[in-house]
């Protein structure tokens, strides 16, 4: 069976891996200055956007693609596939999941699997990439879905937030939206799981946030796959990478978090997402 994958641009999958696994990525949109820009690396360049993000008078917003827009991408992916697996940003955080559902409603539903990732950024991406790897090796839909479910349940996704004002302003995270006063000076370390963004530590310097991230990563080693991502914080990225040098896999992904998510967590943030070793053995038993 030829199984193809469709996801949204929040997944932060590097272009070379999108190409390697023939993944279809449907862009979300970032809105500012009276215009709407596709988060596709063409209309909106990540580096350029983050340079101006903190200077914009009007707060940028993000939006899901329309179902008709999603349908165009989905139809192209379906043309040479026996089955589509579509993995999206959590439904309760965005309209993306519903856009995918409506955009694929005309297809035979036994040829389509729509999955709410319960994750953000490369936490979505790892589900897509692990699924694509198993699909290419086996051509077996059930084994592919088992791999996705296992990664979704066991992967480690954490981030240090440098400026809580962005997360608070997004209105998507209850504890952040309720924070006021001096709490805005806190650097929270957050854990993403089952679509929830939970604060697990609150420190007063970003160095301590990086220390906590390193501690969490070390606790869950060894890793088969790892990604370390940031938003305009090369120094923080390098510092975390140095702390984790002894446990990083050879092909660790390093890069920028995309604008569709970065708009809501703000410049300076750093995070990691890892898949522990033995995940293939676990799904084969």
Residue 101, Cβ density class (10 Å: 0-12 exposed, 13-18 middle, ≥19 buried):
middle
pLDDT of residue 95: 96
Q: What is the domain extent for residue 269? A: 156-284
Do residues 111 and 100 both lie within one domain? yes
Torsion sign (Cα): 209, 214, 219, 220: positive
Q: Are residues 167 and 99 in the same domain?
A: no
Same domain, 28 and 90: yes
Q: What is the DSSP string of 94-112?
A: -SHHHHHHHHTTTS-GGGE
**5-62 per-position pLDDT tens digit:** 999 999 999 999 999 999 999 999 999 999 999 999 899 999 999 999 988 888 899 9
Q: Are residues 90 and 192 in the same domain?
A: no
- Residue 88 sits in the same domain as residue 194: no
Total tally of structural domains belonging to the chain: 2
* Structure token pair of residue 85: 């697996």
Residue 32's domain is classified under what CATH number?
3.40.50.10170
Task: Based on the fold, state whether residues 185 and 271 are members of the same structural domain.
Answer: yes
Q: Are 226 and 252 in contact (CB under 8 A)?
A: yes
Burial 7-19 (b: 16+ CB within 10 A, else e): bbbbbbbeeeebe
Please count the other Cβ atoms lying within 10 Å of the Cβ belonging to residue 130. Answer: 23
Does residue 118 register a pLDDT over 70? Answer: yes
Please tell me whether residues 62 and 193 are part of one structural domain.
Answer: no
Task: Evaluate if pTM is beyond 0.75.
Answer: yes
Tokens representing 166? 């962005």
Do 195 and 107 reside in the same domain of the chain? no
pLDDT confidence of 171, banded at 50, 70, 90? low
- Do 220 and 99 belong together in one domain? no
Q: 124-145 pLDDT, tens per residue?
A: 999 999 999 999 999 999 999 9
The residue whose two tokens read 């994750």 is 119
Same-domain check for residues 176 and 128: no
CA distance 212 to 200: 10
């Amino acid at each position: 069976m030829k199984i193809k994958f469709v996801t949204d641009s929040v997944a932060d999958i590097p272009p070379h891996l999108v190409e390697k696994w023939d993944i279809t990525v449907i862009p979300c949109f970032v809105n500012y200055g009276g215009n709407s820009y596709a988060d596709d690396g063409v209309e909106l360049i990540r580096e350029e956007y983050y340079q101006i993000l903190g200077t914009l008078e009007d707060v940028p917003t993000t939006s899901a693609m329309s179902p008709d827009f999603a349908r165009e991408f989905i139809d192209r992916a379906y043309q040479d596939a026996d089955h589509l697996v579509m993995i999206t940003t959590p439904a309760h955080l965005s309209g993306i999941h519903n856009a995918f559902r409506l955009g694929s409603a005309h297809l035979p539903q036994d040829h389509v699997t729509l999955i709410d990732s319960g994750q953000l950024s490369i936490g979505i991406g790892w589900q897509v990439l692990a699924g694509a790897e198993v699909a290419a090796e086996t051509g077996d839909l059930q084994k592919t879905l088992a791999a996705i479910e296992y990664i979704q349940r066991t992967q480690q996704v954490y981030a240090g937030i440098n400026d809580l004002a962005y997360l608070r302003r997004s209105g998507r995270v209850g504890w952040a939206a309720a924070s006021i006063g001096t709490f805005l000076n806190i650097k929270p370390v957050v854990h993403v799981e089952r679509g929830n963004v939970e604060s697990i530590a609150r420190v007063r310097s970003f160095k301590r946030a990086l220390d906590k991230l390193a501690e969490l990563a070390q606790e869950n080693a060894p890793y088969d796959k790892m990604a370390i991502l940031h938003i305009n914080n090369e120094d923080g990225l390098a510092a975390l990478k140095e702390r984790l040098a002894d446990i990083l896999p050879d092909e660790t992904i390093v890069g920028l978090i995309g604008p569709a998510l970065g708009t809501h967590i703000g410049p300076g943030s750093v995070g990691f997402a890892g898949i522990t070793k033995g995940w293939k053995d676990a799904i084969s038993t």
